[in-house]
């Protein structure tokens, strides 16, 4: 099965309470989840964000290129948890657990 790609236009808006700019990077009839809060999500060059998405019905790892909004599936896994992706910011590699 080919790895999936999709583009989601970034939506920027001001937070009502703080006035700070907030970016919405994904949208659709599926869930996108960043890595767990103590795990890096950004590539070392700040070009990509990694996340897990259940767009296909199963949690799969993706990277999102911030400049273009293109999300590309990194690999196909069969039993990944939704917090199981992380980035090694020095080597610009992403890791994902597959199975328990």
pLDDT, one tens digit per residue, over 1-45 is: 568 887 877 889 999 999 999 988 887 788 888 888 888 888 888
Q: What is the pTM of this model?
A: 0.82
What values do phi and psi take at 92, rounded to 5? 55, 40
Q: Tens digits of per-residue pLDDT, 57-75?
A: 889 999 999 889 899 999 9
Query: How many CB atoms neighbour CB 69 within 10 A?
Result: 14
Q: Are 86 and 43 in contact (CB under 8 A)?
A: no
pLDDT of residue 17: 96
Q: Are 34 and 24 in contact (CB under 8 A)?
A: no
């Amino acid at each position: 099965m080919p790895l999936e790609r999709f583009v989601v236009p970034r939506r920027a808006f001001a937070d009502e309470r703080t006035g700070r700019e907030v970016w919405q990077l994904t949208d659709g009839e599926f869930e996108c989840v960043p890595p767990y809060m103590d795990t890096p999500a950004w590539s070392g060059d700040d070009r990509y964000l990694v996340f897990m998405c259940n767009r296909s019905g199963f949690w799969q790892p993706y990277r999102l290129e911030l400049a273009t909004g293109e999300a590309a599936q990194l690999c196909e896994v069969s039993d990944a948890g939704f917090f199981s992706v992380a980035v090694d910011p020095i080597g610009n590699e992403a890791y994902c657990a597959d199975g328990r």
